[in-house]
Amino acid sequence: VPLFLMELSFGQYASEGPVTIWKICPLFQGLGYAMFIMSGLVGIYYNMILAWALFYLLSSF
């Protein structure tokens, strides 16, 4: 939760997105891209869980 709040405050302060906010600290340059990749992977993961649940629900009838 603290990192999420820090990201929100940096974004509001600098009026930048997660990819371009690295200008504040070049050490974390790939962090914005990593956030996009991780959100995509998490989305795929949860869609797969939903597909399994739907498959087993429909298979039970």
pTM for the whole thing?
A: 0.59
Closest CA to 25 of 13, 36, 37: 13
Residue-range domain boundaries for the chain: 1-59
| Interval 25-59: pLDDT, tens | 777 777 778 878 888 999 999 999 999 999 999 99
Per-residue b/e over 12-46, b at no fewer than 16 CB within 10 Å?
Answer: eeeeeebeebbeeeeeeeeebeeeeeeeeeeeeee
Distance CA 16, CA 51 (A): 35
Distance CA 16, CA 19 (A): 8
